[in-house]
Amino acid sequence: MNQAEIVGGGWAPGRLHSIAEQPVMVRGEDVGRVLGEVYRVGMDHLEELDRIMETVAAIVGNGRCRRVRVVVSEVKLNHPPMEAWTWQWEDLEGQHPTLSSGDWLNPGLAPLFTFIAFSCLLLIPVLSVALPLVYYTSRTKGTTPVPPLVSYVVVGLMVGAPVAGLYAAYLAHRRKERWSGCLLLIVIALAGLLLILGINLSQAFL
């Protein structure tokens, strides 16, 4: 926003979606509010922004984007609401992630898939320790041996957990969840474990 004078930040009525990793605002008076910054610009600058939003609309590839006037509140302390231009989408098709916070830079989505990815990461070492421990206990204390089916299920979980964890991390990134900053470490750890499991399984069968 070079050569634009910032007025302040404020809230406009509407709902904020994430489509193709782009912020998509939907108009509405009773569906929530969206946080943004208000700038004072000239007509040339406004037309330039129109061209930029045409590019964004092509990336989104869903619905129709147009410039509309909205009432923005809380722009300045003790300042009355003011009108401003923004770009909103109409006629969207399908279901899309909604940013309940209304803030694109701080989406505030619950870290559901981040938690799933982290759980998959923890599951692998737990199973790696639990299965040999059960086998050792059954042999040394003469308890009932572990059925082969249980072993197959555990091995299947150990192989499937990294794949499920990586997919959950991908979904968490797409949703822009809270705590997504730790996703890179989780992905690296899951990919490393998957590689180690693949090497061990290939050696076992070769």
The model's pLDDT over 123-166, given as tens digits with 9 standing for 90+, comes to: 877 777 776 666 666 667 666 666 777 667 777 777 788 888 88
Same-domain status, 121 and 78: no
Copy the structure tokens of residue 51. Answer: 């061209």
The model's pLDDT over 19-62, given as tens digits with 9 standing for 90+, comes to: 888 888 988 766 788 888 888 888 888 899 989 999 999 999 88
Domain that holds residue 123: 112-205
Cα–Cα distance, 130 to 134 (Å, whole number): 6
Same-domain status, 81 and 132: no
User: By mean pLDDT, which of 2-11, 36-45, 196-205 is the weakest?
Assistant: 196-205
Classify residue 103: in a domain, yes or no. Answer: no
Same-domain status, 122 and 85: no
Average pLDDT over the chain, rounded to whole?
A: 79
What does the angle CA 28 – CA 72 – CA 82 come to, to the nearest 5 degrees?
130
Same-domain status, 200 and 132: yes
| pLDDT for position 51 | 92
Order of strands across the sheet that contains 22-26: 15-19, 22-26, 82-90, 64-72
Same-domain status, 69 and 116: no
pLDDT at residue 206 above 60? no
**Crossing angle of helices 112-140/148-175, nearest 10°?**
160
Same-domain status, 26 and 69: yes
Same-domain status, 83 and 148: no
Same-domain status, 56 and 134: no
Classify residue 97: in a domain, yes or no. Answer: no
Domain of residue 56, CATH code: 3.10.490.10
**Crossing angle of helices 148-175/183-205, nearest 10°?**
150
Cα–Cα distance, 15 to 38 (Å, whole number): 18
Same-domain status, 86 and 124: no
Show the 3-state SS of 97-127: CECCCCCCCCCCECCHHHHHHHHHHHHHHHH
Same-domain status, 67 and 130: no
How many structural domains are present in the chain?
2
Same-domain status, 125 and 200: yes
Same-domain status, 82 and 126: no
**Last residue within a domain, chosen from 90, 124, 145:** 90
The model's pLDDT over 82-137, given as tens digits with 9 standing for 90+, comes to: 899 999 998 888 888 888 778 887 766 667 888 888 888 888 777 777 766 666 66
Q: Is 145 helix (H, G, I), strand (E, B) or coil?
A: coil
- Enumerate the β-bridge partners of residue 69: 85
**What percent of the chain lies above the pLDDT cut of 90?**
8
**Last residue within a domain, chosen from 90, 123, 156:** 90
pLDDT at residue 17 above 60? yes
